[in-house]
Amino acid sequence: MSEVIGENEAKALYEELYKQLPRKKNLSMLVKNICKSSDTEKYVYELKDNKYIETVFIKRRDGGTVCVSTQVGCPVGCIFCESGRNGFVRNLTSSEIVQQIILLRRKVNRIVFMGMGEPLFNYDNLIKAIHILRDRYGLNFPTDGITISTVGPVDQLKKLREEHLKIQLTISLHAATQSARNRIIPHMRIYAIEDVVKQALSYSERHNRKIVFAYLLLPGINDRPSDVRQLAKWFRGKKVMINVLQYNPTSNSRIKAPQKREIVAFKHQLEQAGLEVTMRVSHGREINAACGQLANTYNKFKKK
């Protein structure tokens, strides 16, 4: 008669295996390289088809945040992001998504799907990976510690709203008008910005979650007084935080990076309009591991 392993024993067994280096036969990817700075590590993973992805680990006081990729390359084409400048290759499998965390062999407090690729364009594999991470016989990772960062494809946002996950959601909005967003995220012009906002707020209401709207400040493009007014119209009184981002240098020389004083002034304007605002601190710039900088020079992309 086979012995039934209890929940505590199963979790203890998994944690013990997690501390060990996984056997190669159980892996479909390997660590190719690790770049390190004072508080950030960038892992380059080689996949079985000789493609590469990058994953970032940001050290915290009692563990760390891991920024996980969901695609090789990216189809979205944000003008401030390196990942999509060379095109899109393929989606990652749910196994490849999970292995990025396992192979770190580090204590992880927070998982953010904000690496290479648009998470919701790899919807099925993403959701499967999240269920694996949350499973009590797997990593048993808390729901509050998982965030999807997305540009907000509307159909997928509607599906996510109906999932029984209640994970954290960050919307890369970056504009308050359709014309500005089309310029910043050109491949998302098929989605009306009003619909993106509407679906994000609907997710917030259904799951009782505060939604973060990421806003990369680009002087002369999305920093006008009318932009502040529109953001206030959408979000004042809602469970929303505006996260103002600073541009991290990429190969796009046409982008004018804002001065720190411009970012602080814009944040103050939003606060004066009654919004909750924070400023994101970038980590890993010196090793090209900050937001927008992941691209991986190992890959030979072909535009599609």
Question: From start to end of the chain, where are the E strands?
Answer: 29-36, 40-47, 52-60, 63-67, 71-73, 88-91, 110-113, 146-150, 168-172, 211-216, 240-245, 277-279
Active-site choice (54, 82, 96, 118): 54
Report the alpha-carbon distance of residue 83 to residue 69 in Å, rounded: 10
Active site residue 35: no
Nearest residue to 241 (alpha-carbon basis) of 278, 206, 216: 278
- 105's CB contacts (< 8 A; 6+ apart) are 18, 19, 21
Residue 281 is encoded by which pair of tokens?
């601190």
Q: How many residues does the chain have?
A: 304
Contact 151, 113 (CB under 8 A): no
Helix boundaries (H) for the chain: 7-19, 94-102, 123-134, 154-162, 178-184, 193-207, 225-235, 260-272
In terms of C-beta density within 10 A (0-12 exposed, 13-18 middle, 19 or more buried), how is residue 154 classed? Answer: middle
The catalytic residue positions are 54, 291
